[in-house]
Amino acid sequence: MQFIDRVKIKVKAGDGGKGMSSFRREKYVPFGGPSGGDGGKGGDIVFMVDEGKSTLLDLRYNRKVVAPNGVNGKTKKMHGAVGEDAVIKVPLGTIVKDAETGRILADLTRKNQRAIICKGGKGGRGNFRFKTSKNTAPTYAEKGGLGEVKDVEVELKVLADVGLVGYPSVGKSTLLSVVSAAKPEIADYHFTTIQPNLGMVQVPDGRSFVMADLPGLIDGAAQGKGLGHQFLRHIERCRVIIHVVDMGAQDGRDPVQDYANINKELEEYQYRLLERPQVVVANKMDLDDAEANLARFKEAYPDVEIYPTMTALDEGLEPIIYKAADLLEVTPVFPLYDEEEKSEGVLYKYEGDKPPFKVHNLGNGRWKLTGEEIETAFAMATLDTDEGQQRFARKMRVLGVDSALREAGAADGDTIELAEFEFEFVE
């Protein structure tokens, strides 16, 4: 199966259904009057965790998801049906971001967790809703509101408790295959692991945890070289790191320098990777130069506890999994955003009441109105009748559009843009 861990898609919630304008006219019913029902709400775009999925492959071939619209209102005050939500099933560990701002919209880390990413438009009100003592027979009915539209980046970050890091071909895949039932590809060449492999590790004392064999790092990975960020983003959720060092130095590298280089890449990447506790493994101790290199390593890093192993021969691995299990019991979960980012609006920040509109001077007597409230009011307004036009004009006055345009310098005859339409400003 092809492993897809990042994809960009466009999502659109359903529009609300139109309100109905109708009148009850039945024989022997003395009080008729307006009877148009409301339109139904548009469907939401919902992301939902599906534990049966392990990749975002489905979204690679479905780059646009649109929820159904609400149904129009009907006669006899009957409401239109609500549009069904469009549910997008994604693997556990998926993050949904706004592609334009980078803001995290949802972090899906729990079984069956759901998150509404785009809200459906409100249903328009039928003419029954506008009946008053002064207007007993209104003909006006609202159109439905528009559903939200967003370009989102969907990213899978593997949910593992322990992550294996190190240069390519240091024995990470072999270690995973020995301590779990996982069967990663193992071969005598670099980058045999090009996608994360997960395995459940059973500790002899009954504890268990999930271990991830991740693509190998190279120098400059934090800047995106090699598999770069494709590797590093999967270790973001790991609470413990097992750092595998090739003491045999088969590729001519220096194990002492390798350890420093990998830690440098972890430090330069975001999300405080170097703060996670490490279990340092000296692998391939059966090779000729391993003992001498291990002695140099201990001299260079006297404070680092190191575990000599021969993963290919299944020797020295039990103390490693015990140590990892012990560290997991005392290591908290590391958030994917810090408090400073939270305060800057990266994740669900309360931003206060937004102004209903903003006035932009385009020059040469042209002005543009923008804002969620005014654009929603315009989208739901029915402007093909005198009553509808009068209602919209009153709405604009209530919002203070007229006075705001005058204060900004708009003059009689200037052109006002709203959504994709133009109006003439009249004093």
Phi/psi at 366 (5° precision): -120, 135
Q: Which amino acid is at 120?
A: G
278 labelled ligand-binding: no
What six digits make up the tokens of 111?
A: 């079984």
What six digits make up the tokens of 51?
A: 């534990």
Max Cα–Cα distance, the chain, nearest Å: 105
192 labelled ligand-binding: yes
Task: Scan for tokens 């972090």, then name that residue.
Answer: 107
Please choose, from the candidates 251, 261, 225, 264, the residue with its C-alpha nearest in 3D space to the C-alpha of residue 170. 251
Containing 358, the helix (H) or strand (E) segment is strand 358-363
311 labelled ligand-binding: yes
What six digits make up the tokens of 249?
A: 């130095």
195 labelled ligand-binding: yes
Residues 261 and 183 sit within 8 Å (Cβ to Cβ) = no
251 labelled ligand-binding: no
Please choose, from the candidates 275, 279, 278, the residue with its C-alpha nearest in 3D space to the C-alpha of residue 320. 279
CA 152, 155, 157 angle in degrees (round to 5)?
155
Residues 6+ apart with CB under 8 A from 73: 17, 18, 19, 20, 36, 37, 38, 39, 40, 79, 80, 123, 124, 126, 141
173 labelled ligand-binding: yes
322 labelled ligand-binding: no
Judging by DSSP bridges, how do beta strands 278-283 and 306-308 pair with one another?
A: parallel
49 labelled ligand-binding: no
214 labelled ligand-binding: yes
170 labelled ligand-binding: yes
What's the number of CA atoms in the CB half-sphere (13 Å) around residue 143?
17
Judging by DSSP bridges, how do beta strands 240-246 and 162-165 pair with one another?
A: parallel
75 labelled ligand-binding: no
Q: How many angstroms separate the CA atoms of 343 and 114, rounded?
A: 24
256 labelled ligand-binding: no
Q: How many angstroms separate the CA atoms of 177 and 333, rounded?
A: 26
117 labelled ligand-binding: no
> Does residue 245 sit in helix, strand or coil?
strand
Phi/psi at 254 (5° precision): -100, 115
312 labelled ligand-binding: yes
Containing 369, the helix (H) or strand (E) segment is strand 366-370
286 labelled ligand-binding: yes
271 labelled ligand-binding: no
Annotated binding residues for Mg(2+), as ranges?
173, 193
Annotated binding residues for GTP, as ranges?
166-173, 191-195, 213-216, 283-286, 310-312
Annotated binding residues, as ranges?
166-173, 191-195, 213-216, 283-286, 310-312
